[in-house]
Structure 1
């Protein structure tokens, strides 16, 4: 993953819990990187170690860390770093989710070494949609749930994000039902 991801985890922890918690996370994770360069790729293992250490230091599950990070990514990192791109995704949550399959195509122009997930949508209804998440990376479904929740907050609509299908249960990909 690119350094911007790890930097965003650092920002989430320092701004929400304090610099001392970040120092504890870094120590617990044994990640020996003083600062993350946003446009540089890092081994995925760095991100996983940070998430696991954050869960231990904060006394919450890794899933809760990933979900909080997903919301943070949309509401803070996305708005600050990619404001125009986020705004061009749609005028409301439904439009953004329908356009989501094209979103990473634009991101890849900025990050050419990116290995992005693939999103597809189905079952498009007035107040719900199914979002299919395909990725080579495992263990990030709660991050995706957080992204969907963060998008709901960005568009100021109450959302429920339900996991309908998971690779943990032997499926080929995750399917989320997002209802608003």
Structure 2
């Protein structure tokens, strides 16, 4: 895990229990003082697990309680260290905040720290009874990090939206997922979120009230050609994830032979963020997430492969001719 996690754990223990307790935690975990919290250093998951286990033992609480308390402090610490305005501007309500968590993770990991970490993914659903269902996905099921989410949810609801929420875990499963990089085990935890006070203002802050849409006879008419030129990097595909059309600039990055209608999208791209199989249902489930697609073959690579294929074919043909000449 990124060193920022270790430093924020240290900050939490320092403030809540004092320096002597943190020294005892370091002794138990085997970390040398000053080497356990290097912010830009990447620590193995095992190192983080050892540190958290030491906190659990010294502070006499379960590992789950450590993670949940840490999650609540993480919001406080993050807002104290310069992220307050960004967090408050993410959304006017809790649901919008949760919908944008993936984008926030991506921004911090890839833009701020340039760490390219394996971040979690979040997906929200509105319920008819005014509650929110939050789906949390992580590729680190062994670490049992879901209590962090509980702490983050409660504290962000309280600090940012002035909400006290009831939070229940309604499901927790693990499954094997086939990714472009191979198979991995993914944990899926389902949370149900409800505002404790169900008055009008709290429902607005939760983000579950239906939005009023004003009717209008005005229609924006845009031809297919204009659409392609207006959105030069767009990609349109059907429910089977087969290509329908693309913007004109896509041709500069993808071989033309692959950009014909009916080409399966997974043949052209692989998804690097979020870490999900590329199919229509998954795309709809993560519609609010930032999607990062990587082109599998550039035009130059494509042409090189074609040339190599032709050369290989020519060598095979020449060899067959030699054999035929020898035979006759």
Q: What TM-score comes out, normalization by structure 2 length? A: 0.51
| CA distance in 2: counterparts of 1:179 and 1:37, whole angstroms | 38
Relative to its length, the structure with more strand (as a share) is 2
Q: Give yes or no for the alignment of 1:144 onto 2:146.
A: no
1:73 Cα shift?
Answer: 0.3
1:83 Cα shift?
Answer: 2.0
Does the CA-based 8 Å contact 2:174-2:188 persist in structure 1?
Answer: no
Aligned pair in 2 of structure 1 residues 55, 21: CA closer, same or farther (>3 Å)? Answer: same
1:64 Cα shift?
Answer: 0.7
Which residue pairs with 1:158 in the alignment?
164
SS in 2 for 1:161: strand
Q: Name the count of aligned residue pairs.
A: 180
Aligned pair in 2 of structure 1 residues 20, 127: CA closer, same or farther (>3 Å)? Answer: farther
| Unmatched runs of 5 consecutive residues or more in structure 2 | 177-185, 196-328
| CA distance in 2: counterparts of 1:16 and 1:47, whole angstroms | 19
- CA deviations 1:17-72 (Å, max 9, x no partner) are 10011111111112235242222221122221111111111111111110000000
1:14 Cα shift?
Answer: 0.5
SS in 2 for 1:105: helix
Aligned pair in 2 of structure 1 residues 59, 89: CA closer, same or farther (>3 Å)? Answer: same
Q: Give yes or no for the alignment of 1:12 onto 2:8.
A: no
- CA deviations 1:86-123 (Å, max 9, x no partner) are 12221232321232232222222113222211111123
Relative to its length, the structure with more helix (as a share) is 1
| CA distance in 2: counterparts of 1:124 and 1:78, whole angstroms | 30
| CA distance in 1: counterparts of 2:29 and 2:96, whole angstroms | 38
| CA distance in 2: counterparts of 1:33 and 1:45, whole angstroms | 18
Q: What TM-score comes out, normalization by structure 1 length? A: 0.89
Which residue pairs with 2:194 in the alignment?
179
Aligned pair in 2 of structure 1 residues 71, 34: CA closer, same or farther (>3 Å)? Answer: same
User: Which has the higher Rg, Structure 1 or Structure 2?
Assistant: 2
| CA distance in 1: counterparts of 2:129 and 2:40, whole angstroms | 38
| Unmatched runs of 5 consecutive residues or more in structure 1 | none
Please report the RMSD computed on the Cα atoms of aligned residues, expressed in angstroms.
2.2
| CA distance in 1: counterparts of 2:146 and 2:44, whole angstroms | 19
